[in-house]
Copies of this chain bind each other. A is one copy, B any other.
Amino acid sequence: MDTGDRLLTPGEVAALFRVDPKTVTRWAAAGRIGSIRTPGGHRRFRESEVRALLEGEGEFDEDNPPGSPSPASPPGAGATPRAAGSRPGGY
């Protein structure tokens, strides 16, 4: 039950994602990422969760590496399955 992961500051998460801290705040506000608030109102994020998001947890597919001339148009191969049910926060 130990969630024992480090907590990251908005600036840390922003640097990891290469986005603005404000954007990270928006994600948290939208419920797209879990956030813990300090008594002062500042947010802290779990490193485990951020890492999972960075790895592309729940979102993989759509790959067409250059050099993979795969015709990519398989007749019945439902390409690009836009799975939309794997979003943390499930929305």
Contacts and interface: CB of A to CB of B under 8 A. Distances in A.
Contact of A23 (B23, B33, B40): B40
Interface residues of A, number: 23
Q: How many copies does the complex hold?
A: 2
> What DSSP secondary structure best describes chain A's contact surface?
loop
Interface string A45-78: 0000000011010000000000000000000000
Given A18-B44, A44-B18, A84 B8 contact: no
B36 A56 contact: yes
A64 to B, nearest CB: 16
6 contacts: A7-B17, A17-B36, A17-B38, A18-B44, A19-B38, A41-B87
